[in-house]
Amino acid sequence: MDNQSKTSEGIRVAIRMRPLNEREVNSGYTKSFRCQTQYNAVTQIKDGQAVDGGTSYFDKVFDESARNTDVYDYVCKEIVQGVMGGINGTVFA
């Protein structure tokens, strides 16, 4: 879904995957999920392989390389502008 196809009402769910932090890397943790941004999906992985039934779809998926401004522009900008114009809006993070 792109910005053009977003509706002005309703609930949208966006996921932003964070990279492993230094402590996790040093402890030998590996990623448990793989972003499939082209499908707006997140797939659970084990030993590098997709887990059966472990894929979830969302309105938008941001991978580890997404910038704060990318997320804000897609998820929050229109809502904040609407609130400033007197329309109710909520962003949960």
What's the predicted TM-score (pTM) here?
0.75
Q: Tell which residue, 18, 19, 16, has the closest CA to residue 70.
A: 16
* Span 20-40, pLDDT tens digits: 999 999 999 988 999 999 999
79 has which bridge partners? Answer: none
Question: What are the pLDDT digits (tens) for 69-92?
Answer: 999 999 999 999 999 999 999 998
pLDDT score, position 7? 52
Residue 55 has a pLDDT of 96
Amino acid at residue number 19: P
Model confidence at 8: pLDDT above 80: no
pLDDT of residue 10: 80
- Rounded Cα distance between 11 and 35, Å, is 21
